[in-house]
Structure 1
């Protein structure tokens, strides 16, 4: 009896609470009046978060008060019972906060959970609530780390149970054995999914599907969650793969439909949505729908601020319509992002590739800045997605379609259609989304303002033809010049630049008279 109790004390000091509890229960089964073992058992139960059993054990000690009893034991039991009450209150408040599913409430819950873990450091249920709160705050790496750090403890504790699932000489519920086997892998899968790592999530789900479910109501609830998440991930990966296949085969309209279907299906995994938006932008670009492509890239950049492909693609699209200022701004964003990635990567092979990407981005920025100096007007036909030979009616139809589709208010509504508007993330990005959409909307309006006016359109067409002719002549001459001659003729006529500015100002005047 004493040996069990003493070994329990040693195991408690090593953090082996389940093993210590087993020793205490064995000791009290030998001598039910052994209060020191009872209070130690209660401490173990409290540390493990088994509040009901801990409360009963502490009450049993207090009800055994006799004149010969050690007063220290009753003081410990009284303090322990008070701890049980505090944790019970904190857990109750946490559940209320988490049910509201907002970032501020999740932050409040984390504070209470931190207090509870000081008293119940080995509580599986409290750790589960912490993981859920971190998930709501989109701190996915912390969720995965928390689940992985404690998974070994759950596996070790399973040896304390009989083959039929009943605890060995303990009233600790089956839930404390079984639930950890399910909430941890589920929340890891969910974290992978929400962080855009769908392939990793699917691999873990496949491993889980090989485990025979336990006939337990809470476990069955997790099985339903696993099943739903698995179906979602498989469908999203299937739609994305179909879109990629269509794009590679040159079926760009089909690719747009498949990426759109994936976006309609998913509203939770922001990085995955960012990839679908960026991929759909590439399909739109191939179809000549440049403004649609720019809009998709803008949404991708907001959903995943560390997505270099979306930034690079939008810069390319802005350059295509000759909006060089916006293109240069995007390349600067790309350079800033690549510099951060280079600093993080150190000297790995990936870092070498990022150094090359960074070097190319600087060259690209220099080229765009040189183009911007020419003050070349926007490519108005490309903005509206029409041919220079199109009719005025075609221009009107194209404008109405583009203006309706890319109105700033619609852009923000599209992005947050299934999100919590109170989430701080959306408060931070809504201005950026609106600003990007507003710039695109005004660009569409500028194109219509010129092309809908016969006189302005004729002048624009004339200067476009003249500019193209000069470019062809310049290209032809450069093939027969020495490098020194080419270098000396890189400048441009200031009078021509002034004329270009004047003509652009003339075309785009009164550009607010639309919509």
Structure 2
């Protein structure tokens, strides 16, 4: 590496000698050193066009295209016949995205040298670049974001990839936002704000990304900053109004929910959802919040619908999976609940609550796949002893074999009803059934086996079993069972007449 050059004493060395030394540094690839020397030559002879043109060449090599374009302008002002300066200016303006100015510079070259091969090649590339830029703008206008990105990528192949024009960077970020690639849009927007923290376009784009992600508070702050830089920036003003309105409605809904004013909260969330259907981040939260209201109101199907809408807008919204799973549990849709709790447990392996909820859902799923004695008797899981007894009495009389002679379905139903009552009327068996002990071989290892239940005893306990005290009306089922008359068959501990 070369040592840093000393400033030359221009009183003893001519500007031309300084320029020659700068040329040597340029050829050696020491562009910063060359620029410093060209600057000294300019100071010694500020009206020499070549010095500006040469410095522009060195500035171009370190990608300082704006400064290089300024030097080219100085060179052509001093020497209107300096073709090299026009060519360099054209290249600089291409890389700056100033396509019309680049074209003008190349046309000047051709007007002075019609056969200039370099100018012809550059004009061809410029036309290609202009076509792709035009396509990108058209596709963005039509919200065809994928096509816009493709055209923009083709355009960028004609310019310096390390010095992409600011406007085109904005476009790329906007395309990512349009494609709902929020993480990349957020990265690009942050990068643009770092490059120019006073640029209203960059600040507005950052506000829009935040807005779409549901962070209205930060979106509001960025809109206000954009308007501070440009008070007439109408897009920022419109977005600011929407963000404020949505945030105010959402917060009012949250306050109503916390105060227990559920219908008011529901109405506020619904009103907020009507403000801007494109604000997916906030709308996902609003649907989730409204689902919480419906869940409190025990409107589980409606709550599920809102959870699904929230997840359509934001599939990574963890809280919604938890809320939806809870609704599935209430609706006894255990397979769906297990699926959601599994997803939560995989997303947050260290969350013990999710693991516990998953185990509970898996247990309920297993329980749901065995006989449901509550459903057999047509009672809820919170039914009292008297409600269970009443349900059994009604169904046992309805399906008793003496009333359904020859009906095998009624016979099976009668047995099932007795089995259910035998379990649910016994506090210990009921507790074991409710807790799912039978799924792990409870009841002494044999689970709840209907074959071990004597339906005669169950019926006799309910209706009385002495003498003619079987099926109401005398004689009947109990009495005939004890006699064991011809034509009766023993099945599952009791007899039925098959005619």
Is residue 196 of structure 1 aligned with residue 235 of structure 2? no
Counterpart Cα distance in 1 of 2:131 and 2:223: 35
What's the TM-score, normalizing by structure 2? 0.64
Query: What does residue 45 of structure 1 align with?
Result: 93
Query: What does residue 291 of structure 2 align with?
Result: 281
Q: How does 1:78-477 map to 2 (within 5 A)?
A: 78-102=120-144, 106-121=145-160, 122-151=164-193, 153-154=195-196, 181-213=199-231, 220=232, 223-339=233-349, 354-376=350-372
- Preserved CA contact (<8 Å) 1:185 1:204: yes
Once the two structures are TM-superposed, the CA of residue 370 in structure 1 deviates from its matched residue by 4.2
Is residue 63 of structure 1 aligned with residue 116 of structure 2? no
Once the two structures are TM-superposed, the CA of residue 240 in structure 1 deviates from its matched residue by 0.9
Q: What secondary structure does 1:114 align onto?
A: helix
Greater mean alpha carbon deviation, residues 3-12 or residues 467-476: 467-476
Counterpart Cα distance in 2 of 1:189 and 1:199: 10
Once the two structures are TM-superposed, the CA of residue 338 in structure 1 deviates from its matched residue by 3.0
CA deviation vs aligned residue, 1:63-97 (integer Å, no higher than 9, x gap): 1128xxxx7xx222211211221122112222222
Once the two structures are TM-superposed, the CA of residue 148 in structure 1 deviates from its matched residue by 3.4
Q: What secondary structure does 1:119 align onto?
A: coil
- Preserved CA contact (<8 Å) 2:294 2:302: yes
Q: What secondary structure does 2:229 align onto?
A: coil
Greater mean alpha carbon deviation, residues 225-234 or residues 87-96: 87-96
Counterpart Cα distance in 2 of 1:333 and 1:229: 35
What's the TM-score, normalizing by structure 1? 0.62
Counterpart Cα distance in 1 of 2:375 and 2:243: 42
Once the two structures are TM-superposed, the CA of residue 245 in structure 1 deviates from its matched residue by 0.5
Once the two structures are TM-superposed, the CA of residue 44 in structure 1 deviates from its matched residue by 0.6
Counterpart Cα distance in 1 of 2:215 and 2:423: 46
CA deviation vs aligned residue, 1:182-214 (integer Å, no higher than 9, x gap): 32222221122122232332222232233343x
Aligned-residue RMSD, C-alpha: 3.6
Counterpart Cα distance in 2 of 1:497 and 1:94: 77
1:8 to 1:148, Cα distance in 2 relative to 1, 3 A: farther
Once the two structures are TM-superposed, the CA of residue 279 in structure 1 deviates from its matched residue by 1.0
Once the two structures are TM-superposed, the CA of residue 251 in structure 1 deviates from its matched residue by 0.5
Counterpart Cα distance in 2 of 1:293 and 1:308: 16
1:234 to 1:182, Cα distance in 2 relative to 1, 3 A: same
Higher RCO structure, 1 or 2 (CA under 8 Å, sep 6+): 1
What stretches of structure 2 of length at least 5 have no aligned partner? 1-48, 381-386, 388-413, 434-439, 454-499
- Preserved CA contact (<8 Å) 1:131 1:147: yes
Query: What does residue 162 of structure 1 align with?
Result: none
Is residue 493 of structure 1 aligned with residue 448 of structure 2? yes
Once the two structures are TM-superposed, the CA of residue 356 in structure 1 deviates from its matched residue by 3.4
Query: What does residue 165 of structure 1 align with?
Result: none
- Preserved CA contact (<8 Å) 1:55 1:84: yes
Counterpart Cα distance in 2 of 1:490 and 1:237: 58
Once the two structures are TM-superposed, the CA of residue 42 in structure 1 deviates from its matched residue by 1.2
What count of residue pairs does the alignment treat as equivalent? 359
- Preserved CA contact (<8 Å) 2:338 2:358: no
Is residue 54 of structure 1 aligned with residue 102 of structure 2? yes
Counterpart Cα distance in 2 of 1:231 and 1:497: 72
Query: What does residue 395 of structure 2 align with?
Result: none
1:367 to 1:148, Cα distance in 2 relative to 1, 3 A: same
1:309 to 1:146, Cα distance in 2 relative to 1, 3 A: closer
Q: Which has the larger radius of gyration?
A: 2
1:273 to 1:474, Cα distance in 2 relative to 1, 3 A: farther
1:10 to 1:360, Cα distance in 2 relative to 1, 3 A: farther
Counterpart Cα distance in 2 of 1:224 and 1:491: 75
CA deviation vs aligned residue, 1:433-479 (integer Å, no higher than 9, x gap): xxxxxxxxxxxxxxxxxxxxxxxxxx9xx99x96996597668899x
Counterpart Cα distance in 1 of 2:296 and 2:174: 42
Once the two structures are TM-superposed, the CA of residue 260 in structure 1 deviates from its matched residue by 0.9
Query: What does residue 65 of structure 2 align with?
Result: 17
Q: What secondary structure does 2:188 align onto?
A: helix
Once the two structures are TM-superposed, the CA of residue 492 in structure 1 deviates from its matched residue by 4.2
Counterpart Cα distance in 2 of 1:359 and 1:335: 6
Counterpart Cα distance in 2 of 1:270 and 1:318: 24
Greater mean alpha carbon deviation, residues 367-376 or residues 317-326: 367-376
- Preserved CA contact (<8 Å) 1:117 1:123: no
Once the two structures are TM-superposed, the CA of residue 119 in structure 1 deviates from its matched residue by 2.0
1:242 to 1:470, Cα distance in 2 relative to 1, 3 A: farther
Once the two structures are TM-superposed, the CA of residue 60 in structure 1 deviates from its matched residue by 0.7
Counterpart Cα distance in 2 of 1:21 and 1:125: 18
Once the two structures are TM-superposed, the CA of residue 227 in structure 1 deviates from its matched residue by 1.0
1:369 to 1:25, Cα distance in 2 relative to 1, 3 A: same
Once the two structures are TM-superposed, the CA of residue 329 in structure 1 deviates from its matched residue by 2.4
Once the two structures are TM-superposed, the CA of residue 29 in structure 1 deviates from its matched residue by 2.1
Counterpart Cα distance in 2 of 1:183 and 1:268: 20
Counterpart Cα distance in 1 of 2:200 and 2:274: 29
